[in-house]
Amino acid sequence: MSTVEQFEDMKTEGMVVARTPRQLAFARLRRDYVALASLIFIVLLVLFALAGPLFEAWTGHPVNRSNSTGVDDYTLLPVGPMHGCVNGLASVGERSCFVLGASNNLGFDMLVQLSFGARTSLIIGIVATVLTMLAALLLGVIAGYVGGWTDTVIARLMDIVAAFPFLLFAIAASVAFGASLWFVILIIAFFSWFYPGRIFRGEVMSLRNREFVTAARMLGASNSRIIFRHLMPQLIGPLTVYASLSVAGAIAAEAALSYLGFGLPLEIPSWGRMISDAVPGGLYINAPFLMVFPGTLLVLTVLAFNLLGDGLRDALDPRGGTIL
């Protein structure tokens, strides 16, 4: 061994410990305060959504029952001390308590509705994203790896889906098939897979001809081994980034559909519908918080997932600088 390599060995053994790409990414993410704040917001949002039943028990307002006592009829805000916690309303011993007022003129509790709405948004965002990413991985990797006619067919399919007007198609389909939770999830996934799909296709196309893939083939690796052992791990970066962005997109899409009245059925709380409920009769003029509360939560949630996605993109960028 030459002195140069001995020196190299010394360097790697004693003083300098090299970090894995993952460790570097985490180090960069820890420095990114915007992404970190987004992550904290998302964690708080998840806790808020999980706390739904606790809010129901505390306020005495089940999510789908109206009860406007304790609310000012004009502003829909809580009245009285303790934000209008009143004892013995419907039956003896029952307690009713509004904290953020009523969510509409039927007297649904704003806090409970917001919490269950967060649950709906997160479920739709995550399930739709999982479906989106599975479809994008499957079709993108096949198209990029196989190439030729298969690629042409899948790539054109992506173009066709991309060319569909989402809202128009979703409204028509909602009228035709009737809206349900699964319908909303499937329609959102159907209109989002093509974008990450294109990214994965491009990545795989460029990776396929890299020398380490050739080397694996040379050693006798099967196609499935090359795909799962050598190609898929390289996609973890873009997958994480686009998953985060896709959650934001799905939440916004669900809110838009529900706002238009073509989204979720009435028994499922939704931020989008809470906003639209404030519109008839100019309710929001007397009670602007009917829009402000769900609207702010929606904007912050979408923003948080988008910013987290951007932060992840920067953190996972292999050209990103090193952090000591």
Partner 1 sequence: MSEPILKATGVTIGFPVTRGIIFQREVARVQAVDGVDLELHAGETLAIVGESGCGKTTLARGLVRLQGIDAGSIEFMGEDITRRTGRGLTDFRRQVTMIFQDPIASLDPRMRIGQSVQEPLDIHSIGTPGERKRKVQEAMERVGLNPEHYNRFPHEFSGGQRQRIGIARAVVLEPRVIVCDEPVSALDVSVQAQIVNLLEDLQRDLGLSYVVIAHDLDVVRRLADRVKVMYLGRVVEEGEGEQVYNGPRHPYSNALLSARPIADPKRARTQERIVLQGDVPSPLNPPSGCRFHPRCPVAQSSCAEVDPPLEHAADGHGWACRFPLRP
Provide the binding-site residues for partner 1, judged by CB under 8 A.
1-2, 4-5, 8-9, 12, 18, 20-21, 152, 210-212, 214-222, 225, 229-230, 233-234
Q: How far is the CB of 167 from partner 1 (least distance, A)?
A: 31
- What is the distance between the terminal CA atoms of the chain, rounded to a whole angstrom? 31
* Residue 61 or 313 having the CB closest to partner 1: 313
User: What does the alpha-carbon distance between residue 231 and residue 213 come to, in Å, rounded to a whole number?
Assistant: 8
Helix or strand holding residue 205 (H, E): helix 194-208
How many Cβ atoms are within 10 Å of 230's Cβ, its own excluded? 18
Q: How far is the CB of 221 from partner 1 (least distance, A)?
A: 5
* Residue 62 or 202 having the CB closest to partner 1: 202
* Residue 78 or 238 having the CB closest to partner 1: 238
Q: How far is the CB of 229 from partner 1 (least distance, A)?
A: 8
**192 CB-near residues (< 8 Å, 6+ apart):** 128, 132, 246, 249, 250, 253
How many Cβ atoms are within 10 Å of 212's Cβ, its own excluded? 11
User: What does the alpha-carbon distance between residue 173 and residue 248 come to, in Å, rounded to a whole number?
Assistant: 22
Q: Which two tokens stand for residue 32?
A: 């990114």
* Residue 64 or 152 having the CB closest to partner 1: 152
Task: Report yes or no: 56 and 62 within 8 Å, Cβ to Cβ.
Answer: yes
* Residue 178 or 220 having the CB closest to partner 1: 220
Task: Report yes or no: 302 and 251 within 8 Å, Cβ to Cβ.
Answer: yes
User: What does the alpha-carbon distance between residue 94 and residue 87 come to, in Å, rounded to a whole number?
Assistant: 6
* Residue 30 or 229 having the CB closest to partner 1: 229
Q: How far is the CB of 215 from partner 1 (least distance, A)?
A: 4
By 3-state DSSP, what share of the chain in percent is helix, strand and coil, each rounded to 5?
A: 70, 0, 25
* Residue 94 or 317 having the CB closest to partner 1: 317
Q: How far is the CB of 159 from partner 1 (least distance, A)?
A: 12
* DSSP code at position 232: G
User: Sign of dihedral through CA atoms 271, 273, 279, 284?
Assistant: negative
Q: How far is the CB of 6 from partner 1 (least distance, A)?
A: 11
Q: How far is the CB of 137 from partner 1 (least distance, A)?
A: 17
